Amino acid sequence: MHSLSDLQDSVEHHFAAGPAAIGDHDALGAFNDLRTALEAGTLRSAEPDPTSQTGWRVNAWVKRGILLGFRIGKLTDQSIVSRGHPEHALFGRHEQTTFIDKDTYPAQRFTPEDGIRIVPGGTSVRSGAFVARGVVIMPPAYVNAGAYIDEGTMVDSHALVGSCAQIGKRVHLSAAAQIGGVLEPVNASPVIIEDDVLVGGNTGVYEGTIVRRRAVLAAGTILTRGTPVYDLVHSNILKATPETPLIIPEGAVVVPGSRAIPAGFGQQMSLSVYTPIIVKYRDEKTDLSTTLEDLLR
C-alpha cells in the first residue's frame, strides 16, 4: 500500500506515461490503491477547503488516477449468473447479487411462468465510488467512479450520481435527479451538493455547479454553467464566471421559471426562455414540505 504522497507521485508518473502504462504492474497497483482509498472515502476527487474561493478544492491528480484506471483496464466478463435454463450448461449454478433492505418491503419474486420480462441492470455502484453508511439507494440508480455520497443521503429511483460528483450528508436526490459527472478536464470542479440539500424530482445539476447547504431545488429545475439564476429575495442575478462555477447560496429555494425575451424576433413571437428563480430562502414551511420522506426510512 502506497502512502498518500507516494500514491500521488505514482499516479502522476503512470498517467504521464500514456499508453505505456497499459500492462504495467506498477500502474495497476497504484490504481488499485487509489480505488481502495476512493471506496473507503479517505481520498476524494474534490473536498471542502475553506481557503479556496468556492470552499472546495479539486484534487486533479485523483481525477487523473480515475482516468488512468479507464486507460489501463481490460475488458472482462463480469456477468451476474442466475439459475440457468434446464437445457443450458449453466443450469444449477446459482449466484445472487446482494441487496439489503427492510423485511417489511421485500422484493417480489417472479418466475418465468409469470411471463414478465425483468431486464437485468438496475442499480449499480461502480468501483471507485464512496458510499457512506446509512445511504439508501432505490433502484434503478447509477453511481459512477469517483463519486462521494455522504451519510444518510437518499438516492431515489432513476437518479444518476455522475463521476466525481460530491454529495453531502442527509441530501435527498429525488426520483430522476441527474447529477452530472465531471471527469475531464481534470482540474474542473465536479458538481457539489452540500449537506441537507433537497434535489427535487426530474432536476438536473451539471457542469460543476455547487449547491450550498440546505438549499432546495424544486422539481424540474435545471442548472448548468450557462444558466443565470434570478434571486428575487436579494434582487441579483447569479452566474458562473471564468473562475467560479454557478453557486446556489445556502438555503435558497430555487424553482423553474421563465423570462420573456425582451427584443427582436423572440419578443415579436412572445417567446420566453427557461430561467431558474430563487423565490425565497428556506423557512419552516419548506422544512415541512421536504421532511415527509423521513417517515419512509
Ligand X SMILES: CC(C)(COP(=O)(O)OP(=O)(O)OC[C@H]1O[C@@H](n2cnc3c(N)ncnc32)[C@H](O)[C@@H]1OP(=O)(O)O)[C@@H](O)C(=O)NCCC(=O)NCCS
| Minimum distance of ligand X from residue 29's CB (angstroms) | 42
In the complex, least distance from residue 252 CB atom to ligand X, rounded to whole angstroms: 10
Q: How far is the CB of 154 from ligand X (least distance, A)?
A: 9
User: 22 vs 176, which CB is nearer to ligand X?
Assistant: 176
Q: Does 200 bind ligand X (CB under 6 A)?
A: yes
**Gap between the Cα atoms of 83 and 91, Å rounded:** 6
What string marks each residue from 39 to 78 as x (binds ligand X by CB under 6 A) or -? ----------------------------------------
Of 189, 211, 184, the closest CA to residue 200 belongs to 211
Contact 265, 256 (CB under 8 A): no
152: cell is 444518510
Find the distance separating the first CA and the last CA of the chain, reported in whole Å.
Answer: 38
Q: What are the cell numbers at 206?
A: 451539471
The reply to whether 280 sits near ligand X by the rule CB under 6 A is yes
Can you tell me the distance from the alpha carbon of 192 to that of 205, in angstroms, rounded to the nearest whole number?
9
Residue ranges in 206-275 assigned as alpha helix (H): 264-268
Write the DSSP string, 43-59: S-SEEE-TTSTTSEEE-
The reply on whether position 289 binds ligand X by CB under 6 A is yes
In angstroms, what is the minimal distance from the CB of 216 to ligand X?
Answer: 5
Which residue lies nearer to ligand X by CB, 218 or 247? 218
The nearest distance, CB 124 to ligand X, in angstroms, is 20
Binding site for ligand X (CB under 6 A): 156, 174-175, 200-201, 216, 218-219, 253, 255-256, 279-280, 285-286, 289-290
